[in-house]
Amino acid sequence: MLSASLTNDTAFHPSTFILLGIPGMQDQHMWAAIPFCSMYILALIGNGTIIYIIMTDRTLHEPMYLFLCLLSFTDLILCSTTLPKMLTIFWLRSHIISYHGCLTQMFFVHTASGTESAVLLAMAFDRYVAICRPLHYTSILNAAVIGKMGLACVVRALLFVFPFVILIERLPFCGHHIIPHTYCEHMGIAKLACASIKPNTIYGLTVALSVTGMDVVLIATSYGLILRAVLRLPSKDAQSRAFSTCGAHICVILLFYVPAFFSFFTHRFGHQVPPHVHIVLANLYLLMPPVLNPLVYGINTKQIRLRIFGFFMGRR
């Protein structure tokens, strides 16, 4: 009886999953790991430095820098949730991940990406208030409001991601346990099920369009209002600096959202997209923002740049 019970439980939920890596590129895994590892190291150094400088310098405890600190912390979680396992797949051929380990990775991947989207929206709002409502900046974005906004970014992501876990737990897998991916994510796991995944598809689509999609609309609106305000500046030099800063921010935002939506919709509608293209872009979506955000938001900011140079030159 015990043996039969264990067999049925394993058939419903496998004890382990096998992550294949990048389908069709298994022979190139050893070499593909090098650029991914290099970018991961850059992300760790860049975001770690940003967090350390902002946390230790009280003069940087202002809204823009506190949001940047939260963004860097989120970026570290985002890339560290997937890259170490991916590198063990590529270099050590360690393809096995436990069932609960896979769900845990899925949970943190989606929570971190949801939090990042919310933080990008908060930073866009911060820039809007700073440029379009400068006289009310300190009253609108005081310490209490910043704390509540940061907490809301995390709580919102948690609330929308918990149902993903519940939706996966209800599915039987009938022995299917091979995931053609480098990490565990909601639809990649759900597709292995031997039952209807319609609730998973509907909920995932709803979250992507209503939550992440709304973030994109609000971010675009904020930067549209910012650009309108910039165009009214009398100084061409001020306009040029503002356009340069906003342009860099928009590029990083696009690098986060475009691959994210591409990966999301490919799972549901992109049956003609080659698997290796989908998987590579899905990995870049989790890795490129953590690499570029410290450069664009950190080094592109004068106060951060001066402290970074002072930090590495020993003149803190």
Percent of the chain past pLDDT 70, that is, above it, reads 90
The answer to whether the CB of 223 falls within 8 A of the CB of 130 is no
Mean pLDDT of 84-103: 94
Please report which helix (H) or strand (E) contains residue 179, including its range. Answer: strand 178-179
- Given a cut of 80, whether residue 241 has pLDDT beyond it is no
The answer to whether the CB of 129 falls within 8 A of the CB of 136 is yes
| 53 burial type by CB count under 10 A (0-12 exposed, 13-18 middle, 19+ buried) | buried
**Facing residues of 78 across strands?**
none
CA dist., res. 286 & res. 312, Å (int): 27
Mean pLDDT of 207-214: 88
Tens digits of residue pLDDT in 265-278:
776 666 677 888 88
Phi-psi region of 174 (alpha: psi -120 to 50; beta: other; left: phi over 0): left
pLDDT tier at 35, thresholds 50, 70, 90: very high
Q: Answer with the residue of higher pLDDT: 229 or 183.
A: 183
Mean pLDDT of 187-206: 91
How many CB atoms lie under 10 A from the CB of residue 71?
26
Which pLDDT does position 85 carry in this prediction? 94
| 314 burial type by CB count under 10 A (0-12 exposed, 13-18 middle, 19+ buried) | exposed
Q: Answer with the residue of higher pLDDT: 251 or 267.
A: 251
Q: Global pTM? A: 0.88
- Given a cut of 60, whether residue 112 has pLDDT beyond it is yes
